[in-house]
Amino acid sequence: MTTSSTLMGFVHRRRRGAELFLLVLALAVGVGGYAAVGVGVEGKVPADIIGYGGWLAALIVAAHIVIRLVAPYADPVLLPLVATLNGLGLAVIHRIDLGYAARGRETSFAQQQLVWMTLGVVLFVAALVVLRDHRVLARFTYTIGFGAIILLMLPLLPFFEPINGARIWIQLGGLSFQPGEVAKVMLVVAFAGYLVLHRDALALAGRRLLFVDLPRGRDLGPILAMWLVSLGILVFQRDLGSSLLFFGLFLVMLYVATERPGWIVVGGTLFLGGALAAWKTLGHVQDRVDIWLHPFEYYRNAQPPFSDQIVEAQFGFGWGGLIGRGFGEGDPTRVTYAESDFIMAAIGEELGLTAVIAVLLCYGLIVERALRVALISRDSFGKLMATGLASIFAVQVFVVIGGVTRLIPLTGLTTPFLSYGGSSLVANWVIIALLLRISDQARRPVPDLSADEEESDDESTQVIKL
């Protein structure tokens, strides 16, 4: 018998040095991007580069030190990937700020984003320090799930105003916040807790119909409820992206938990049914599909619907070509919402396909690392949670970048870590903290309790003199 630390044939190293090395490169991307924007747009390195770079470095180093202290075995690649995307996003948002300024519109998106990033890192640190063991979350499955539903319903209250037709924001003292972004993290935790308990019933009971194992009717309850919730979001909040995200997330987690392809069939059918019904009955869904199929017919239309946003984004990608126009040489602010949903179009225009592929690879690596955490995790709750968090990233990136590049109809979601948007950024930092916590637990050598059995027995039966 080998020792349990050699269980999988190897032990994981801590790799904190490798993480630091990658973080230095990530910082070079962030600060270098900021400097390049200054040089390209204004012809000089920005005056506040020291302050900006110092602030970014302080945030990243703080996150690194906290990982060293409280999660020494955590995955070494996740934090640098996130830091790079966040740094690149800040630089591009700063570029867009300058672009708006040239058009006479004063914005300070980059500064606000830096403030939100600071808040994100603070919550990241807090999550790692407070949550020493992710399994604690399993105790609050239903509480967390209930909280998530409340948060999702919150924007429907009458005193919160819809923005751009979607009721997904709440306004608190001048700040607007999307509770759905927080709810998605809570839903993953709640799903994972629920499925760990019920996966046997979901997987084993059921009957076979046409080569497909269909689950029992009563086990269908949760997925039907989830389907209704996501349709409800679609109908009442007019938020296509989130409803797609929640439904896809739940389907992936069900499939992973039960290993039954039947769920994919059922879920796929429900998705197609829901999508068809929405397309038939909801005007704004129909518009989206039409714009996706025939964008140029709606370009610079006299009356809505318009397709200017998506068409200008395509022009930008085409103009950018392989290595882009260079910072300051393009005109990304043609596209409305270039700083949030359409940030990939700005990157494609000024940095070209080369940078777009690098960004996509970064997302791919985040998803890969998260799925690897799920593979090596020893407890099922951690496995499911890591899978869910990975699929959030995967689905969200696919939906938004697929929409911007006109692969699928456009739905509004933020590009994680790149887009301007406080709630999304903060929630994503917390997701990374959870992933690092699970990976720290999974990569830590197994405490070997079987070897020192005798000694611990002797200790526990000490005779105490009375």
Partner 1 sequence: MSELTLFLIRVAFLAILWIFVLSAISVIRSDMFGARVPEAARGQGAGAPRPPKQPKPSKRRGSPTHVAVTQGSSAGATASLAQAPILIGRGTDAAIRLEDDYASTRHARIAASGDQWFVEDLGSTNGTYIGSVRITQPTTIAIGTQVRIGKTILELKK
| Phi, psi (degrees; rounded to nearest 5) at 132 | -85, -15
Given 77, 156, 212, 220, the residue binding partner 1 (CB under 8 A): 77
Sequence-separated (6 or more) residues with CB below 8 Å from residue 302: none
463 scored as a contact of partner 1 (CB under 8 A) = no
Work out whether 446 is an interface residue with partner 1 (CB under 8 A): yes
The interaxial angle of helices 240-258 and 261-281, nearest 10 deg, is 170
Q: Per rule CB under 8 A, is residue 297 in the interface with partner 1?
A: no
Length in residues, the chain: 466
- Contact status: 36 vs partner 1 (CB under 8 A): yes
Q: Binding of partner 1 at residue 460 (CB under 8 A)?
A: yes
Least Cβ distance, residue 88 to partner 1 (angstroms): 7
Which neighbouring-strand residues pair with 177? 170
Integer Cα distance of 92 and 348 in angstroms: 11
Does residue 29 belong to the site contacting partner 1 (CB under 8 A)?
yes
Query: Diameter of the chain by CA atoms?
Result: 95
Q: Does 16 bind partner 1 (CB under 8 A)?
A: no
Is residue 386 at the binding interface for partner 1, with CB under 8 A as the rule?
no
CB of 44 to partner 1, least distance (A): 8
Q: Which of residues 109-148 bind partner 1 (CB under 8 A)?
A: 133, 135, 138
The reply to whether 2 sits near partner 1 by the rule CB under 8 A is yes
Given 76, 145, 262, 316, the residue binding partner 1 (CB under 8 A): 76
In the complex with partner 1, which residue's Cβ is closer, 13 or 105? 13
Contacts of 187 (CB under 8 A, 6+ apart): 145, 148, 246, 249, 250
What's the closest the beta carbon of residue 197 comes to partner 1, in angstroms?
8
266 CB-near residues (< 8 Å, 6+ apart): 214, 215, 220, 223
Q: Which of 212, 358, 371, 408 binds partner 1 (CB under 8 A)?
A: 358
- Environment class of 110 (CB within 10 Å of its CB; exposed 0-12, middle 13-18, buried 19+): buried
- Taking CB under 8 A as the rule, does residue 401 contact partner 1? no
Question: In this structure, are residues 28 and 83 in contact, taking their beta carbons and an 8 Å threshold?
Answer: no
User: What is the phi/psi pair of residue 316, to 5°?
Assistant: -60, -45
Q: With 0-12 CB in 10 A as exposed, 13-18 as middle and 19+ as buried, what is 248?
A: buried
Question: Is residue 448 part of the contact set for partner 1 (CB under 8 A)?
Answer: yes
Least distance in Å: CB of 311 to partner 1? 25
Q: Between residues 57 and 446, which has the closer beta carbon with respect to partner 1? A: 446
Strand partners, 390: none
Q: Which residues bind partner 1 (CB under 8 A)?
A: 1-13, 15, 18, 21-22, 25-26, 28-29, 32-33, 36, 39-40, 43, 76-77, 80-81, 84, 88, 133, 135, 138, 197, 323-324, 326-329, 351-352, 354-355, 358, 361-362, 365, 368-369, 378-379, 441, 446-451, 453, 456-457, 459-460
